Amino acid sequence: MLEMDSNYFDTFLQEPPRTKMLDRLWAFQKSKGYISDADVTTLAKKYDISEVEVEGVISFYHFFHRKPAGKYTIYLNKSMTSQIRGFSRILEAFKRETNAEVGSIDPTGTFGLFLTPCIGLSDQEPSALINFYPFTNLNSLKIREIITKLKKGVPVQDIYDKPKDNIQYTPEGKESIFFSDFKPGTAVAKLASLEPKGVIEALKQTNLAGRGGAFYPTWMKWQAAMDEKNTPKIVVCNADEGEPGTFKDRVLMNKVPETVIEGMIICAYTIGASFGLIYLRAEYTWLKHRLEEVLNKYREKGLLGKNCGEITGFDFDIRIQMGAGSYVCGEETALLESAEGKRGEPRTRWYYPVQRGYLQLPTVVNNVETFSVVTKVLDFGVDEILTYGVPKSPGTKIISASGDCNKPGIYEIEWGTTLKEMLELCGAKDPWFIDESGPSGTVLSMDDEDRPIAMFAELSSEQHIRCGGALTIFNKSRDIIDILLNYADFYKQESCGICTPCRAGNFIIERKLERIRGGLANKEDIDELKQWSVLMRTTSRCGLGKTATNSLLNALDKFEDYFNERIHVSEKTKNLKFDLEEATREYEHFKN
Amino acid sequence: MGKHVNITIDGRSILAEEGRNLVEVARENGFFIPTLCYFDHIDPPLGTCRTCTCRINGKPGPACTEKVREGMMVEVNDSELSDIRKALVEMMFAEGNHFCPSCEKSGNCDLQHMGYELGIAISRFPHLFKDRLIDYNAKRMVLEHNRCIKCMRCVVDVVTDDGKRVFSYQNRGNETYVGIDYEQEAKLSRAQAVEAMNLCPTGAIMVRGESMGQPFGERKFDRNSIRPDYYDKQFKAKKRKGKLTKKTIATASLAGCFGCHMSMLDIDTDLLDLVELVSFDKSPITDIKNFSKQCDLGIIEGGCCNEENVETLRAFREKCDILVSVGECAIWGGLPAMRNTMSLGECLEEAFLNCVTNEEGNTVIPYDENLPKLLDKVYSCREIVKIDYFVPGCPPDAQHIWKAVRNLLWDENYSILYSEFKYD
């Protein structure tokens, strides 16, 4: 097998040693299950930084441990889709079988049991990662079998579940844009005749907009990077698919990784980049090998490396950077910081990544799906793409559907499909509370069923649903407050922690929601929740804090009746509801 | 000198050098914008505290991360933006454990100062009382994590002579804190350590032996506001109406120290007016135990730490037309709320069982049916009943209380001086 030319990167881009920090930490972590004091000292010396800085990086990522985390480290998904599929039973089963408590290891040090947010397997929950190998559709019996086998010394890689792609739907009577057969190199072969401006033009005509959920016009981003004088330039594929309920990128990378990599090559050609980086979330470690295989195949075919695709002077190669457990690293500037071997703290917009991105070089960051579409735009041709979808939103969109539906999985729908049609396709059972684009997206009710899923509104009066890629369905048996508390807990832990409204705000919101659950809230509490949500949205430093209260705000708005039933109506006495019995319960322990 | 551009701040045209930081430009032109993380020499700016949020070309955003450019339209002072900035500072008070009366930095603290300038009497957010450590391990410094607002100043700015960072954020989310590197800290000179302490906008970084030098009352933010518009905007004077009729006041000290009551006596010769104009009903001043009638005004000192406090407070709410929380304890828990970061059990065991001064083998945690039951934490008054007004301070300035009382009872003109508005 042709190995990546290790000199390549050095020739075109001298990455400072520190960019290897996360890789080094992973090596320590894997070799003995945790990172020791000696390791910290070693790294501090190696990178000539203080130890507290190394500790800062380690403690930012929840898959790094400073204490032994077991020979087998189990990460059970605690996301909402896992909760409704029996999370608590599964957790009990793991505790029982492994003898480990949450957040620690069993007395023999064999098993470590930890909880983690969505691992991108919402279509096959409950699921867990054991040493980063996936185990899906868990039940108590299955857990007993798994743990028994591991105790007997059966290697994890022999017994894990290869996640199914669950592609449930592609456009009827048409060829799938994403999943149709694709011969590597077909799109790259068209580059020489198109030239960079031809690529930009094709993207413009197909109205391609960032599929990570922000829907920023891709051509504008690429054009800006193209215009930057500074070199070398960088292409980054954001494969840190952390939004709970989203798993489309997982399927793309597993099923059609060629289209993703080829999209990066097209981008590199267009903007004049010589260096590519795939930032892959640690939850998808099991996909790393697959991507590496494809990268090597591309190198063998001459599609990566020097003179890519026989285009003279076009040198480009890609390396994979593993994340280490942090949702905010899906934010592009946090991702860049993380790839540089630092804490994944988002940058301010003082500079945009196309101006100063990875290592302060001009950088295009796009989502997995965006690159995939780029390849298919060139492969299919603009005219063909325009036959899909609706005029202002041509093409198709991949939706990861999960929750209370009969057929969870991947849906490649044409833009313009209504929510109702989508719910019918996935066999939603009595849908009630529907989360679009995960917790940071919007909440939909059945009042929204006629709204189309689209990038842009066809008419100004149209209320389109701008879905980033997830549809999480909950039926009436689910309690909205449980869902919202699950989200609040998620954001409270996943905030990078450096700006006030997000770090403190999510914590405060959680306390307030607990008041509602405890039956102590009144109308004022609801009003304050709304005001504070808007405050966080207005003042947070990055997209995480700005969108963290989206679901909450929508829910308060669309499910007013639900909340009205749960609040206590203030009496005229001006006495607030206070649970004296609860407040004195602890003191009662001291009764002789 | 670079190129100059025209920008507009609150409708005023301003000529400024292109590319300069908006916060600086606004300040130079007499606009007050609160900042806590901003430092002119840090590039790119940190943008962590968000308290300088303005509206720039119609979009809300922090002024400190904006470069001045031609045609920029900036809004600073409208009620929405002022409230947003105030809310962000309030959020910091709710998030940390800021006990101003017992803080060495009081008077020199930027956070406290912003609270004063913005007229924050109470945080609209519930205090979180997250348990945080105090790190005494470093050679010179004490790191008081309760007071840290995670502004990032020290993280980027305090480095050793060989270029290593002394501070770095640890963890993330609500567990984020600023960690200190003991090895690097030891390399700092005394002067560098003091500089780090002064750099900190709160009392989170303290240098042993250096923190108490300057007397309270003579510190940086003790006397005067830096706002040109402080007295215009902070406390709108009300119109006096009618003659002064005799009113009834009731007072109570719940989980407090009676310091606020003592402060009330500090109005000196005004006491003579007070006697003329006011009769006291239930109050420790008169020792009247039960309400004899409906009162015009109730003054509450202290929060609620036991069931009796809750009962008293509820009676006050019933019997008083207007109810005022006076002092930090009544407002948000104050010093007694120091126990809120730990469990009641832990607290009682430490005090009654494990304390070094206890007689061995003869310790008991008091529990008797005649003793009011302790609550799991100290609650602020507004968690139990609706409170109409809040007078901050520990204790509040006598004049502050007296002005507030006269205003509430007789609609008198009043204007609180900057120096009368305090948290300590």
- CATH number, domain with residue B149: 3.30.70.20
Across B109-133, average pLDDT: 96
Q: Which domain covers residue B275, as residue numbers? A: 235-420
Interface test with B, best of A539, A575, A579 (most B CBs within 10 A): A539
The bridge status of strand A72-77 relative to strand A128-130 is antiparallel
Span of A280-284, A557-561, B95-99, B213-217 with lowest mean pLDDT: B213-217
Say yes or no for a CB contact (<8 Å) between B47 and A492. no
Kindly report the average pLDDT of chain A as a whole number. Answer: 94
With a cut of 90, say whether residue B2 has pLDDT above it: no
For the stretch B8-65, pLDDT in tens is 999 999 999 999 999 999 999 999 999 999 988 888 899 999 999 999 999 999 999 9
The residues pairing with A436 across neighbouring beta strands, listed in sequence order, are A442, A471
| pLDDT given for residue A10 in this prediction | 64
Across B159-171, average pLDDT: 97
Interface test with B, best of A500, A509, A523 (most B CBs within 10 A): A500
Q: Is the residue at B412 inside a domain? A: yes
Q: Are B304 and B225 part of one and the same domain?
A: no
Say yes or no for a CB contact (<8 Å) between B173 and A528. no
| pLDDT given for residue B234 in this prediction | 55
With a cut of 70, say whether residue B88 has pLDDT above it: yes
| pLDDT given for residue B230 in this prediction | 86
Q: Name every chain B residue with its beta carbon within 8 A of the beta carbon of A498.
A: 48, 150, 152, 169, 176
Say yes or no for a CB contact (<8 Å) between A576 and B343. no
Say yes or no for a CB contact (<8 Å) between A351 and B307. no
Angle at A315 between CA A310 and CA A320, to 5 degrees: 115
Q: Name every chain A residue with its beta carbon within 8 A of the beta carbon of B300.
A: none
- Tell me if B182 sits within 8 A of B139, measured CB to CB: yes
Q: What is the DSSP letter of A465?
A: B
Q: Is the residue at B91 inside a domain? A: no
Percent of chain B with pLDDT over 90: 85
Say yes or no for a CB contact (<8 Å) between A507 and B128. yes
| pLDDT given for residue B222 in this prediction | 94
Task: Please count the CA atoms within 13 angstroms of the CA of B114 that sit on its side-chain side.
Answer: 26
The residues in A 323-362 lying below 8 A from B, measured between CB atoms, are 326, 328, 343, 345, 347-351
Q: Is the residue at B408 inside a domain? A: yes
DSSP SS3 for B79:
helix
Distance from B17 to chain A by nearest Cα, in Å? 17
B371 reaches A (C-beta below 8 A):
no
Say yes or no for a CB contact (<8 Å) between B149 and A500. yes
Q: Is the residue at B416 inside a domain? A: yes
CA pair distance B242, A514, nearest whole angstrom: 47
- Tell me if A332 sits within 8 A of A366, measured CB to CB: no
At residue A494 the predicted structure's pLDDT band, cuts being 50, 70 and 90, is very high
| pLDDT given for residue A3 in this prediction | 46
Q: In terms of CA atoms, which chain A residue is nearest residue B367?
A: A591
The residues in A 36-65 lying below 8 A from B, measured between CB atoms, are 48-53, 55-56, 59-60
| Start-end of CATH 3.10.20.600 domains in chain A | 396-475
Q: How many CB pairs under 8 A join A and B?
A: 202
With a cut of 90, say whether residue A2 has pLDDT above it: no
Percent of chain B with pLDDT over 70: 97
Q: Are B249 and B361 part of one and the same domain?
A: yes
For domain A72-164, the question of CATH label 3.40.30.10 is answered with yes
Say yes or no for a CB contact (<8 Å) between A350 and B385. no
Say yes or no for a CB contact (<8 Å) between A541 and B50. yes
Sequence-separated (6 or more) residues with CB below 8 Å from residue B59:
none
Say yes or no for a CB contact (<8 Å) between B343 and A578. no
A587 reaches B (C-beta below 8 A):
yes
At residue B247 the predicted structure's pLDDT band, cuts being 50, 70 and 90, is very high
- For the domain made up of A168-385, the CATH class stated in words is alpha beta
CA pair distance B184, B164, nearest whole angstrom: 7
At residue A1 the predicted structure's pLDDT band, cuts being 50, 70 and 90, is very low
**Sign of the C-alpha dihedral computed for residues B311, B313, B316 and B318 taken in this order:** negative
CB-based burial of residue B412 (10 Å sphere; 0-12 exposed, 13-18 middle, 19+ buried)?
A: middle
* Nearest CB neighbour to A578, from listed B92, B176, B310: B310
For the stretch A97-133, pLDDT in tens is 999 999 999 999 999 999 999 999 999 999 999 999 9
For the stretch A382-421, pLDDT in tens is 999 999 999 999 999 999 999 999 999 999 999 999 999 9
Across A282-290, average pLDDT: 97
For the stretch A287-313, pLDDT in tens is 999 999 999 999 999 999 999 999 999
Across A133-149, average pLDDT: 97
Distance from A563 to chain B by nearest Cα, in Å? 20
CATH of the domain at B382: 3.40.50.700
With a cut of 80, say whether residue B352 has pLDDT above it: yes
At residue B1 the predicted structure's pLDDT band, cuts being 50, 70 and 90, is low
Q: Are B155 and B265 part of one and the same domain?
A: no
Q: Is the residue at B95 inside a domain? A: no
Beta-carbon neighbour count of residue A20 at 10 Å? 16
| pLDDT given for residue A5 in this prediction | 52
| pLDDT given for residue A260 in this prediction | 98
With a cut of 60, say whether residue B236 has pLDDT above it: no
At residue B240 the predicted structure's pLDDT band, cuts being 50, 70 and 90, is low
Strand order in the sheet with A72-77: A104-105, A111-116, A72-77, A128-130, A133-135
| pLDDT given for residue B264 in this prediction | 92
| Start-end of CATH 1.20.1440.230 domains in chain A | 480-566
At residue A347 the predicted structure's pLDDT band, cuts being 50, 70 and 90, is very high
Looking at domain A396-475, which of 3.20.20.70, 3.30.1440.10, 3.40.50.970, 3.10.20.600 is its CATH number? Answer: 3.10.20.600
- Tell me if B9 sits within 8 A of B32, measured CB to CB: no
- The residue that leads in pLDDT, B141 or B236, is B141
> Pick from A66, A304, A580, A552: which is nearest to B379 by CA?
A580
Q: Which of B197, B230, B263 is the last residue of a domain?
A: B230
Across A76-85, average pLDDT: 97
A591 reaches B (C-beta below 8 A):
yes
Ordered alpha helix ranges (H), A165-217: 186-189, 191-205
Q: Which of B207, B230, B253 is the last residue of a domain?
A: B230
CA pair distance A375, A385, nearest whole angstrom: 12
B176 reaches A (C-beta below 8 A):
yes
Domain count along chain B:
3
Across A562-585, average pLDDT: 86
3-state secondary structure B224-268: CCCCCCHHHHCCCCCCCCCCCCCEEEEEEECECCCHHHHHHHHHC
Q: Are B351 and B319 part of one and the same domain?
A: yes
Read off the pTM. Answer: 0.95
CA pair distance A150, A94, nearest whole angstrom: 13
At residue B414 the predicted structure's pLDDT band, cuts being 50, 70 and 90, is confident
Looking at domain A480-566, which of 1.20.1440.230, 1.10.357.10, 3.40.640.10, 1.10.540.10 is its CATH number? Answer: 1.20.1440.230
